[in-house]
Chains A and B, each alone.
Chain A
Amino acid sequence: VSLPAFDDELTYLLDERRVVFVVDETLFPMDSIYGAAYRFVDRCWLHLRRPADRQVEVRLKAKGPTTVAELEALAGEFANELLNQVVRQRVGETNSKLREYVIARAFTTASARNSSIDALLAELDAEELAEDELQVAVPWAQGGPQDG
């Protein structure tokens, strides 16, 4: 079985330590490129350039000795991460309303719970004062409990 040839496969340039490829910003928004790049800063040196409008050139340079196969794998992983970032963004946008609702609900519930706790505390205070038959809470100068 022979697979059809795709023109839109990731094409890249290689030298001893570098792999360079161009990302179309109409397919992968800038935020997804930043997100993917951020995940690679510990593995390689990155530099982004603007060769043309809506295009971003990604340059990945190995931090140490490397092989062609490793550089190719790096480019492939970066392309996968780009896709991952786009999906994450889409899911985030889709769920944004639900997320806002859950947070709003959590805050309103918390404030309602706080007000009921305040009411309970006030009730307890009132009960304690009412049950103070020995008038312990009344200061001595105002006719509080005396020895004798």
Chain B
Amino acid sequence: MADVRDYHPSIYDKDAVRAAVASHQHLATIELSGSGEQMVVTVSTDTAGQDAERIADSVGNHALILTARAARAS
């Protein structure tokens, strides 16, 4: 199963997305790709069901938390 989501760089801080991906890499195979226009995060799991979706959800919330903190700090 794979879950693919895009993160627009005008909304999400790039470093925040990278950090969120890095902190979830022990749970599944996570690939970060894309150019400056769009960051694409692909979460893949060997198991069927909603594992990939749940991990992708968690990555999304984590990226948002880090982005919001970065925005507040700047």
**Residues A56 and B57 in contact, CB atoms below 8 Å apart:** no
- A38 near B65 with CB under 8 A, answer yes
CB distance from B7 to the nearest CB of A (A): 8
Name the residue on A nearest B69 (C-beta): A38
Q: Are B68 and A47 in contact (CB under 8 A)?
A: no
Least Cβ–Cβ distance between B8 and chain A, in angstroms: 4
- Is B10 positioned at the interface, with any CB of A under 8 Å from its CB? yes
Min CB–CB distance B49 → chain A (angstroms):
15
Nearest opposing residue in chain A for B60, CB measure: A47
The 9 A-B pairs of least Cβ separation, nearest first, read A45-B57, A34-B68, A50-B8, A38-B68, A47-B60, A48-B11, A41-B61, A34-B71, A37-B64
User: Which residues in A have some Cβ–Cβ distance to B below 8 Å?
Assistant: 30-31, 34-35, 37-38, 41, 45-50, 56, 61
- Of B6, B57, B61, B72, most A-chain CB atoms within 10 Å: B61
Whether B5 is near chain A, meaning CB under 8 Å from some CB there, is yes
Residues of chain B lying within 8 A (CB to CB) of residue A45: 57-58, 60-61
Contact between B64 and A30, CB atoms less than 8 A apart: no
With CB as the reference atom, state the residue of chain A lying closest to B8. A50
Cα A45 to Cα B56 with chains together (Å): 10
Q: Is the CB of B68 within 8 A of A48?
A: no
* B68-A35 in contact (CB<8A): yes
In the complex the two chains form, is A31's CB within 8 Å of B61's CB? no
Is there contact, CB below 8 Å, between B8 and A49?
Answer: yes
30 A–B pairs (Cβ distance < 8 Å), ordered by A: A31-B71, A31-B72, A34-B67, A34-B68, A34-B71, A34-B72, A35-B68, A37-B64, A37-B68, A38-B64, A38-B65, A38-B68, A41-B65, A45-B57, A45-B58, A46-B60, A46-B61, A46-B64, A47-B5, A47-B60, A47-B64, A48-B8, A48-B11, A48-B64, A49-B6, A49-B11, A50-B8, A50-B11, A56-B11, A61-B57
